[in-house]
Each structure stands twice: as C-alpha cells, then as structure tokens.
C-alpha cells in the first residue's frame, strides 16, 4: 500500500496519459467512453489522497525516475496544486456520465473514440501542469493539453469549429512560445528549470542581471495570460467555446483556464514572490486595469450575444477578470477571493455549459431567439441554468457570493473602495445577460424548435444537477472551498519576500 | 397557540412555507386541493408565528441555527420585538390574502396559477427569514430571495408591459442591493468586525460622523425596497402584477421588508444615539420628507386606482423612514406602529381595487361613479382604509402619526411636523374624492342603457368580500386594541 502511496504523484499523470493511448486504439465510441470514465474516476481518488497527505504532512516532493532535483524532474505537491488537482479531476469525473449521449449526438461514430483519447490526453496535460515542479516540464504539459484541445474543438459539428480551432492554435502557440522564451531567460540567468531552485537563485541573479529577469517575467506573464484568456488576450476563447462539442466546452471552461491561472499563481508567488519583492514588480499595475476591463467589457459583450454558448464564453472572460483581480489585490482576503472563485467558477460554468449542452441535445440550437418557452419544455434543465446563473451573479447564499464577498473585503482592506464598487457594479451586468435568457425561456410563447424538447436523459441530467447543486451548496458550506482557499492565500502571502 | 420550544417554532416558521411551496406543484391538476395546501400552509404559519409572541413579550429573544458560512458571516436567526411584529403582520395577512387570492385568481381566470402560489409561498418564506434574521448577512440573503421570488409574480401576465415591469423591478431592486447595500454591509464588517443586530448599535466610536453619513446613505438607498425617491419607480411598475401580489407583497411583505430593514439598521446597527450624536442622520429627514410630499403630489394626478395606491405607498413608506430619522426613541415606536398600521390599511385598499376589477373590470378612478351602491362592502372597506391613510381616528393610521409627532416635538424638530401635517392634507386630497365619486356621484346614464354584462354587477366573489371585510375590521381593531404592536414597538425602542 505504501509503495503505491509513494507513487501517487506520478500516477496522477501517468494513469490518464496511458489511458489516452489505449483509448486511441479503440474503435467503438461507447467502449472508449466507458474506458475514459473509468480512467477519469481514478484521478480524483489520487488527488484526494494527495490533498489529504499534504493537509496532514505538508508538501510532497516526488522525483520522476528517481533523479533528484534540480537535475531530474520534480513533482511537487503543496496545498495550492493539490486543491487544483482535486478541482480538475473531480469536475471531470462528475461530467463524464454526461459525455456519452452528448458526444454521440454531436460527433460522428468513427471519431468518438478519438475524441475520448484527446479528452484523456488533455486531462493528463492539465493535471501535469498542476503537479509538476519543473518549468520546462510544465511547458510540455501545456503543449499536450493545448494540442489535444485544438483537436477537440475542431471536432465540433459546426464548420466554424475549424476556424475557431485554427484561431486558437495560432494564439495558443504564440502563448506557448512566449512562455518558453520566459523559461529560457530564467534558465539563462539561474541555470535551473526547477521552480524551487529558480526561486532560490533568482534573487542573486536579479542583482547581476536585472533586465533579463524582468523580461523573463514579462514573457511568462504574457504567455500564461494568453492561456488563461486574460483580457485582451482572450480573443480565441469565445469562438472556441461556442463551436466546440458541448461536452468539450463544459470540460474546458471548468478546467483549462483554471489550470493556467494556477500556473500564473505559481510563477508569481512561488518564484518571483519568494526571490524578489512582488509588490514592487509591475504585476498588480498591469493586472488591475486588465481585470477590470475584462469584468466590464466582456460582460457587456455577453449581453449583446445571441448565441448562448458564446454569451457564456464572454462571461467566462469576465469571470477570469475577477480571479485575476483577486491576484492583483495581493492581500489575504483578495487572494482568497481569487482562488475561491477559481473553484466556484469552475462549478458554476460547468453547470451552465452542461445545461446548454442539454439544450443542444434536445433542441439542436442555442440561439436565444429560437429558445422561446424552453423553460417550460425543459423545466429541470432551465431551473439548473437559472440557479447556476444566480450563483454567477453572486446572489447571497450561493457560491458566487462567497467569491465576491472576499474580493470586496479584499478591496476595502487594500483601501481601494472604488474597486469594491466596480466589482459589484460589474456583477450587475451578469443579471442582464442571465435575465435576458430567463425572459425568453419563461415568458415567450413556446417556439417551434423547442416544442418537442424535454429534459435530457438521466445520465446527462444528474451531472448537470450535481454541479448546479454544488454551485449553490458551496455558498453555505465553504469548508472545502473558501476554507482551503484562505489557507492557500495565507501560505502564498506568507512565502512572499 | 402551540406549546413548543421557541427555537422549534422558529425552525417551523422557516420551513412551513417552503414545504408548502414543494407541495403545491404536486396538486397542479387539482385546484381545490392546491388551494387547500396554500390555506393550510398559511394557517400553520400564522399559528406558529403567533405562538412565538408570548415568548418575545415575556422578554425572551429566542434564537435558532447559527451556521458560520465563512468566518464572520453567519446564517443565524433570532426573534426580537420588531421582527416579531413584522412576522405577525406578514403571516396573518398571508392567510387573509390566500382566501382573497382564490376568489381573485379564479374570478379573473388567471393563467399559471400553480407557479403563482409557489412563488407566493417562497416569498413568504423569504419574509420570515428577513423578520427573524439575527444579522445583516442573513437578512441580505433573504432580502435577495424575496426579490427573486417576486419577480415571476410581477411578470406573471407575460405580456410586453409585464415583462418590462419585471425588468425594472429586478434591475432596481437587485441593482441597488448589490451596488449599494452589499458594499455597505462589507464596510460595516470592516469597521466593526461584526454584522449582528445588537441593541444600541455596533458602530459607536467606530467611524467619523462623515463616514457614518456616507454609510447611512449606502444603506438608505441600497435598500431599494423602501422606495426612497429617486429609486421608487419599481413600485408603480410592479402594479401590473395580479392584485393579490400588489396587496400582500407590494403593500406589505416586500416594501415593509424595506422599511423594516432600514429601521433595523438604524436601531440595531448604527444605534439611535450614535446617529443622533454626530448629526449624521439629519439628511435622511429631508430625503424622506421630499419623498412623502413628492409621491403624494404624483398620486394626486393618477387616475389609475392601483397607480394612485402605489404612489400613496411610496409616500407612506417614507413616513416610517422619517420617523426613524427623527432619531427619538418615541418616534421609533411610531415607525414600528406605522409598519403594522399601513399594512392592514393598504392591503384593504388593494383588496378593494382588486374587488372592483374582478366584479366590474374597472381600473380607473373616473369610472367609479356610483359604484359604492353596487359594492357597498368593498367601498365601505375602502373608506376605512382611506381614513387610516389620512391618519384619522378611529383607525390604525392615527397611532403611528401620533407617536411620530410626539417624537418630533420632544426633540424640537419642526420640519418633520410640517411635513406630516402637509402630507395629511395631501392624503385627504387624493383619497376623499374617490370615496365621494363612489358614493355620491350617479352612474353615467349611457352605461345604464347599454346594460352589458360587465356593467351589471354586484359584489365581488365571497372570498374577496370576506378578506377585505376582515382587514377593514382589523384597521379599526388595531386602533381600539393596539396593545400587542405597541408592546413590541416599545420593547424595540426601549421606552
């Protein structure tokens, strides 16, 4: 038993990675789905075991292949990435039962097994980014997850999915290039690729070569910002989310950008923050205006969007603005707000996109004007949409409120009361775009497209309702969300120089 | 009366409406059973809330549930006198309104009655949560639930006008609560480290008078349900809702939740003395006074009966705010009394308006000539409600004004006195003509010849008449036997 326990960090990535390869050899879509579900179900078990170990015994260091760091690749699990691992693996597991019908509906039979192979590859990549303690290894996983994402998006039924995928491919590659240049600069000045090792040497290196160190930060910053869709580097996201298969959209929205945010936190707080004075570096200065612009501009774009999947995609850009705003605040409450929103938003957006996937499955469209009266023909689906939408707005008693509350207190603690007002004012825009959908769904006569629609089969309904329930539940019991997030924020801020 | 432990009663009050909301849809196809569920739920709730009263009058402050959501934010309930009063008013009038609704919804053949009753029950659940909230956070949760659960009721008709009204309703109420009230709550937390309602307030010596002044402004305008001008226009817009909604929610539960919250914040968060000492609250007298007069002037010009009643509500709500802003304990008693008095009187007026609409399909005041002779019970009740609005004995409206005036005189504030006197005259000017038209003008002859079905009517259906007779009697009864509300109000103000 203890032999397996010692290998858990490695297994976290190896299991889905090998699973992906096996899935690629399968032909039957249903078989591949069953396989992918089984593999996915292993990952949260490992992640929870890791979280438990870290919670009781402190960080775990795992040496890949037995090579000690900084020569070999180190997997380093602390509270922050254990939290992200749990989030990513758990949300994926909840979503998997949903995938079968939805994927079978939207993707041709001979390509379904391929889709699941790509999905597992992407999952392995995301978990890899979250667990690795090596800057270059993170780049490799970043590419694994990105490449598989491009394929998943391109499998969308709409032909525009190809353009969306291509668009993302170009921008994603630019982002990855920026990231690797940043890593290269750090390697030049410190001679190391290990996060902890870089952090230990960076202070000295910065004294000798201040400019490459700063340039490295800039490259890393821009590269990761592209992946996490920080405004105005979000341009790839709306189309990618809108035209990807419904399941892929829900999966990516809940996990991919969150992992990128994690990488950002890791580099900002565990490398630069440990070695240098993070508050003196121009991180907050850049993040503040961009986050606030995201919160407002992307939300307003969402209000004018007809395609509900695109609407939620813009909303995601806005919500990422809240997360980065929390990072920019760099105080206990603010950072807690950012991290807890990473968690809450994954649940909320997962639920919302699953609901839209169900609409796609039954009505074949997510154009708002075609969906008149859908609240009456698909009552449970739209009830889930409304509840998760309330959580998105930040109605008290829902998970979204907890995030907003921490952010507001963080802004007030930092003495930035105008920022507190901007947070609440922008969340009001969410009322506009969710409310618009509610009006059409409940107060318009039943339209032709949805006349024969009904709630989706149980396998799709249960994951959707589970995530919806979670996005309300974590507004009342916050032990696992805000409790852990606040502990992480403490550790990150405590580690700052 | 139920002889149960007070915390059990609180739990019961917070679950009964919810159970009702879950049961009602099960009887979707059996309207009689469905309405029975509503009536039983409302009856059980009223009984539960009344059973709590002796505990509170005996000086108890029963509490239930204390659940920390995040450190500092607790979902907790505690019954104090003001909340007790509010819960009594809302629960009792829900029972009456349920009787009335049956007559009204069936009489008018309204669509989607099941979802109507479900939303109604959820709204009452939220009202209980507001009344019994132990701290600002709990109150805020239920405040938002109340807005969200009443939105479908406002947009019930689902025509363009109703949808537009629904938009205004949501935008103003959610907007003010998110943009102003939420920062106010967060600021209170940052200043004082607690959000609990504590007699004497929690902000003494915690902030400069200027900061208190700004904080009070955030609260006063952030609590949009109190309809302080210029954030009042959601209320007239909401009048497109079916009349039982206007009656219970937009004359009692929703708007009273607004002034109740303001009163609670002034008494238990700021503390009357803290506000009075720094002079931070004096501007509120002007804001409330302006609303009282301006809304009355608008009401004078409205021919639509429900619109006139809505503006009268805007004006009357600011009485409560004005009374609280006088910052004398005795006028706070007046504020609490006025919450109860206005509730029974205004619901009577709305019941009468709905009764006229159901029986005669008339909505404009100019159409009401001679209707008093066809519908004597309805217009009789209307007259009693109108007298109470003006504030004359022997009706409940007199009591609130009496205590407000006493408070203003004690503290030597002449402006509130002038406002109250002027508005009394205005109230008379827009209510008495309706009574005159109904009883003393003749029906237009053209109609008498036509003798169409809509014209040839008597009283409204029996449930409606029963309900409005009851509330009219309560309006007088509250004047004759004011012991219970008065005792609660005095306990709250500590006089």
Higher pLDDT, A350 or B211: A350
- Convert the pLDDT of each residue in A359-406 to its tens digit: 989 888 888 888 888 888 888 999 999 999 999 998 988 999 999 999
How far away is chain A from the Cα of B138, in angstroms, using its nearest Cα? 9
Q: What is the pLDDT of residue B446?
A: 55
How far away is chain A from the Cα of B159, in angstroms, using its nearest Cα? 8
First to last CA, chain B: 28
Q: What is the pTM of this model?
A: 0.89
Q: What is the mean pLDDT of residues B221-244?
A: 86
Complex prediction ipTM: 0.85
Q: What is the mean pLDDT of residues A397-419?
A: 90
Mean pLDDT of chain A: 91
DSSP H helices, A304-416, are 308-329, 332-363, 374-377, 379-393, 399-413
For residue A46, what are the CA distances in angstroms to A34, A86, A90, A121? 19, 9, 10, 17
Q: Which tokens is A286 given?
A: 């850049």
* pLDDT over 90, % of chain B: 11
Which residue of A lies nearest to B218 if distances are taken between CA atoms? Answer: A421
What SS3 state is found at A76?
A: strand
> In 3D, which of A245, A228, A202, A259 has the Cα closest to residue A86?
A259
Residue B248 has pLDDT above 90, yes or no: no
For residue A461, what are the CA distances in angstroms to A236, A346, A372, A446, B303? 30, 18, 21, 22, 51
Which of A471-485, B164-178, B208-222, B430-444 is least confident? B430-444
- Convert the pLDDT of each residue in A5-47 to its tens digit: 888 899 999 999 999 999 989 888 889 999 999 999 999 999 9
Which of A304-313, A342-351, B246-255, B445-454 is least confident? B445-454
Distance CA A203, CA A198 (A): 9
For residue A381, what are the CA distances in angstroms to A350, A388, B100, B186? 13, 11, 34, 34
Instruction: Tell which A residues from 365 to 424 touch B, by Cβ distance under 8 Å.
Output: 390, 393-397, 402, 404-406, 408-409, 412-413, 417, 420-421, 424
> In 3D, which of B123, B52, B124 has the Cα closest to residue B81?
B52
Q: What is the pLDDT of residue B449?
A: 47
Distance CA A425, CA B120 (A): 29
CB A368 within 8 A of CB A317: no
First to last CA, chain A: 39
Strand B73-78, strand B63-70: pairing: antiparallel
Interface test with B, best of A396, A411, A429, A437 (most B CBs within 10 A): A396
Mean pLDDT of chain B: 85
What SS3 state is found at B60?
A: coil
- Convert the pLDDT of each residue in A334-356 to its tens digit: 999 999 999 999 999 999 999 99
CB A283 within 8 A of CB A268: yes
Q: What is the pLDDT of residue A340?
A: 94
- Convert the pLDDT of each residue in A81-112 to its tens digit: 999 999 999 999 999 999 999 998 888 888 89
- Convert the pLDDT of each residue in A213-233 to its tens digit: 899 999 999 999 999 999 888
Q: What is the pLDDT of residue A407?
A: 93
Decide if A431 and B175 are in contact by the 8 Å CB cutoff.
yes
For residue B182, give the nearest of A417, A424, A486 by CB distance.
Answer: A424
Q: Which residues contact A120 (CB under 8 A, 6 or more apart)?
A: A16, A17, A19, A20, A23, A36, A39, A40
Helix (H) or strand (E) holding A211: helix A210-228
Q: What backbone phi and psi angles, to 5 degrees, belong to A317?
A: -60, -45
Hey, which bits of A125-185 come out as E strands? none
* pLDDT over 70, % of chain B: 97
- Convert the pLDDT of each residue in B147-180 to its tens digit: 999 998 888 888 888 888 889 999 999 999 988 9
Decide if B183 and A435 are in contact by the 8 Å CB cutoff.
no
Burial of A476 (0-12, 13-18, 19+ CB in 10 A): middle
Q: What is the pLDDT of residue B447?
A: 53
Q: Which tokens is B224 given?
A: 């949009």
Q: What is the pLDDT of residue A116?
A: 94
Residue B189 sits at the chain A interface (C-beta within 8 Å): yes
How far away is chain A from the Cα of B158, in angstroms, using its nearest Cα? 5
Helix (H) or strand (E) holding B78: strand B73-78
Which residue of A lies nearest to B156 if distances are taken between CA atoms? Answer: A443
Q: What is the pLDDT of residue B450?
A: 47
Decide if A390 and B75 are in contact by the 8 Å CB cutoff.
no
Cis peptide before B343 (omega within 30 of 0): no
Which residue of B lies nearest to A422 if distances are taken between CA atoms? Answer: B179
How far away is chain B from the Cα of A34, in angstroms, using its nearest Cα? 37
Higher pLDDT, A144 or B327: A144
Residue B160 sits at the chain A interface (C-beta within 8 Å): no
Q: What is the pLDDT of residue B328?
A: 81
Decide if A476 and B75 are in contact by the 8 Å CB cutoff.
yes
Say what angle helices B209-222 and B182-192 make with each other, to 10 degrees. 150
Decide if B174 and A443 are in contact by the 8 Å CB cutoff.
no
Every domain of chain B and the residues it spans: 1-280, 283-495
Q: What is the mean pLDDT of residues B412-431?
A: 87
Q: What is the pLDDT of residue B240?
A: 82
Q: What is the pLDDT of residue B146?
A: 93
Query: How crowded is the C-beta side of B131, counted as CA atoms within 13 Å?
Result: 31
Chain B residue numbers with beta carbons less than 8 Å from the beta carbon of A420 are 183, 186
* pLDDT over 90, % of chain A: 60
Per-residue confidence band for A252, with pLDDT thresholds at 50, 70 and 90: very high
- Convert the pLDDT of each residue in B115-141 to its tens digit: 888 888 999 999 999 999 999 999 999
Q: Which tokens is A8 given?
A: 């858990």
Residue A447 has pLDDT above 90, yes or no: no
């Amino acid at each position: 038993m203890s032999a397996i326990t010692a290998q858990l960090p490695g297994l976290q990535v190896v299991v889905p990675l090998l699973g992906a390869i096996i899935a690629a050899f399968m032909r039957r879509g249903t078989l591949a789905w069953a396989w992918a579900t089984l593999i996915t179900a292993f990952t949260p078990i490992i992640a929870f075991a890791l979280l438990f170990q870290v919670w009781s015994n402190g960080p775990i260091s795992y040496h890949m292949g037995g090579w000690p760091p900084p020569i070999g690749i180190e997997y380093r699990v602390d509270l922050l990435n254990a939290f992200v691992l749990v989030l990513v693996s758990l949300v994926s597991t909840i979503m998997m039962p949903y995938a079968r019908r939805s994927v079978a509906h939207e993707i041709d039979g001979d390509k379904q097994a391929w889709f699941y192979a790509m999905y597992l590859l992407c999952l392995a990549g995301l978990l890899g980014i979250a667990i690795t303690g090596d800057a270059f290894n993170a780049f490799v996983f970043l590419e694994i997850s990105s490449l598989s994402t491009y394929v998943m998006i391109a499998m969308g039924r709409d032909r525009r999915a190809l353009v969306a995928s291509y668009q993302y491919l170009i921008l994603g590659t630019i982002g990855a290039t920026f990231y690797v240049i940043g890593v290269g600069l750090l390697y030049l000045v410190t001679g190391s690729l290990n996060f902890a090792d870089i952090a230990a040497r960076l202070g000295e290196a910065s004294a000798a070569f201040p400019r490459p160190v700063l340039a490295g930060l800039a490259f890393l910053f821009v590269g990761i910002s592209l992946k996490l869709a920080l405004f105005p580097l979000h341009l790839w996201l709306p189309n990618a989310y809108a035209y990807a298969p419904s399941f892929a959209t829900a999966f990516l929205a809940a996990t991919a950008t969150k992992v990128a945010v994690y990488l950002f936190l890791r580099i900002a707080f565990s490398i630069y923050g440990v070695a240098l004075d993070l508050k003196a570096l121009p991180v907050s200065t850049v993040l503040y205006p961009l986050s606030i612009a995201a919160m407002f501009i992307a939300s307003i774009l969402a209000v004018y969007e007809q395609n509900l999947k695109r609407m939620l995609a813009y909303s995601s850009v806005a919500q990422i603005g809240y997360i980065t705003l929390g990072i920019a605040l760099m105080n206990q409450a603010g950072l807690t707000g950012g991290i807890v929103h990473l968690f809450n938003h994954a649940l909320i957006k997962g639920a919302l996109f699953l609901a839209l996937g169900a609409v796609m499955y039954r009505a074949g469209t997510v154009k708002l004007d075609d969906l008149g009266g859908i609240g009456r023909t698909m009552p449970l689906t739209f009830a889930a949409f409304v509840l998760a939408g309330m959580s998105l707005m930040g109605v008290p008693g829902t998970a979204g409120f907890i995030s907003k509350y921490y952010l507001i207190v963080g802004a007030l603690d930092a003495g930035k009361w105008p920022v507190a007002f901007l947070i609440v004012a922008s969340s009001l825009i969410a009322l506009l775009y969710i409310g618009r959908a509610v009006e059409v769904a409940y107060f318009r006569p039943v339209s032709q497209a949805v006349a024969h629609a009904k709630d989706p089969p149980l396998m799709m309904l249960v994951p959707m309702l589970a995530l919806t329930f979670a996005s309300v539940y974590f507004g009342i019991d916050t032990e696992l969300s805000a409790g852990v997030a606040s502990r992480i924020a403490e550790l990150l801020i405590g580690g700052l120089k | 009366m139920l002889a149960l432990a007070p915390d059990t009663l609180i739990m019961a009050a917070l679950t009964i409406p919810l159970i009702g909301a879950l049961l009602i849809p099960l009887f979707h196809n059996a309207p009689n059973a469905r309405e029975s569920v509503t009536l039983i739920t409302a009856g059980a709730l009223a009984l539960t809330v009344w059973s709590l009263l002796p505990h509170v009058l005996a000086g108890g402050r029963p509490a239930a549930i204390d659940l920390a959501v995040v450190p500092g934010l607790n979902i907790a309930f505690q019954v104090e006198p003001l909340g007790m009063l509010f819960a009594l008013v809302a629960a009792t009038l829900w029972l009456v309104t349920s009787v009335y609704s049956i007559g009204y919804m069936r009489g008018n053949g309204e669509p989607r009655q099941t979802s109507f009753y479900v939303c109604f029950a959820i709204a009452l659940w939220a009202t209980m949560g507001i009344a019994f909230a132990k701290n600002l956070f709990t109150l805020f949760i239920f405040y938002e639930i109340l807005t969200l659960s009443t939105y479908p009721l406002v947009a019930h008709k689902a025509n363009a006008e109703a949808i537009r009204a629904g938009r205004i309703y949501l935008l103003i109420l959610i907007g003010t609560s998110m943009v102003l009230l939420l920062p106010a709550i967060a600021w209170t937390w940052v200043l004082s480290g607690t959000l609990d309602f504590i007699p004497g307030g929690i902000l003494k010596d915690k902030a400069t008078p200027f900061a208190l002044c700004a904080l009070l402004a955030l609260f006063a305008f952030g609590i949009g349900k109190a309809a302080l001008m210029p954030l009042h226009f959601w209320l007239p817009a909401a009048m497109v809702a079916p009349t039982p909604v206007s009656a219970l929610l937009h004359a009692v539960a929703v708007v009273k939740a607004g002034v109740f919250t303001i009163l609670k914040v002034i008494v238990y968060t700021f503390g009357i003395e803290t506000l009075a000492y720094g002079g931070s609250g004096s501007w509120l007298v002007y804001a409330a006074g302006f609303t009282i007069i301006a809304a009355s002037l608008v009401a004078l010009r409205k021919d639509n009966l429900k619109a006139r009643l809505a503006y009268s509500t805007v004006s009357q709500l600011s009485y409560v705010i004005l009374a609280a802003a006088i910052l004398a304990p005795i006028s706070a008693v007046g504020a609490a009394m006025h919450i109860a008095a206005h509730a029974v009187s205004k619901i009577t007026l709305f019941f009468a308006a709905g009764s006229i609409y159901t029986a005669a399909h008339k909505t404009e005041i100019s159409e009401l000539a001679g209707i008093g002779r066809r519908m004597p019970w309805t217009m009789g009740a209307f007259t009693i409600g109108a007298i109470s609005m003006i504030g004359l004995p022997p009706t409940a409206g007199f009591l609130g004004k009496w205590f407000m005036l006493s408070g203003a005189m004690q503290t030597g504030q002449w402006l509130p006195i002038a406002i109250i006197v002027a508005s009394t005259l205005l109230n008379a000017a827009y209510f008495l003509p309706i009574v005159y038209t109904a009883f003393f003008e003749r029906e237009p002859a053209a109609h008498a010849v036509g003798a169409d079905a809509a014209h040839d009517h008597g009283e409204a259906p029996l449930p409606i008449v029963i309900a409005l007779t009851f509330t009219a009697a309560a309006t007088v009864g509250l004047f004759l036997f004011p012991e219970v509300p008065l005792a609660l109000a005095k306990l709250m103000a500590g006089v």
